[in-house]
Amino acid sequence: MQTLNNNLVRKFRSSGVTAYKLSKLTGLAATTITRWSKGESEISLKTAEIIADALKCKLTCTWRKK
C-alpha cells in the first residue's frame, strides 16, 4: 500500500535535493530528514506539508470505497 510517507520519500529521493538542503529549506533538522527518508521514522502531517512545500509538490487526499 502506498502511504503519504512512502510517496513523499520517493519524491524527495527523485528531486536531487540533499537532506542538508531540505533542512535549510524547511528549518527541520537534517538528522530528522535523514531518519525519515531511510524509513526509520514517520513524519506528522504538518511536517509532510512543510516538506511538500519545499519540494514544490502538492499533498492531496482521496477517498476510497471499502
Quote the number of domains for the chain.
Answer: 1
- In this prediction, residues 45-54 reach a mean pLDDT of 94
Phi/psi of residue 19, nearest 5 degrees: -60, -40
**Which residues have a Cβ under 8 Å from the Cβ of 64 and sit 6 or more positions away?**
none
Distance CA 66, CA 7 (A): 22
**pTM of the predicted model as reported, rounded to 2 decimal places:** 0.84
Q: pLDDT tens digit string along 12-34?
A: 999 999 999 999 999 999 999 99
Q: What is the pLDDT of residue 62?
A: 76
Residue 50 lies in a domain: yes
Which CATH number fits the domain that encloses residue 32? Answer: 1.10.260
33 close to 22: Cβ distance less than 8 angstroms: yes
Domain that holds residue 31: 4-54
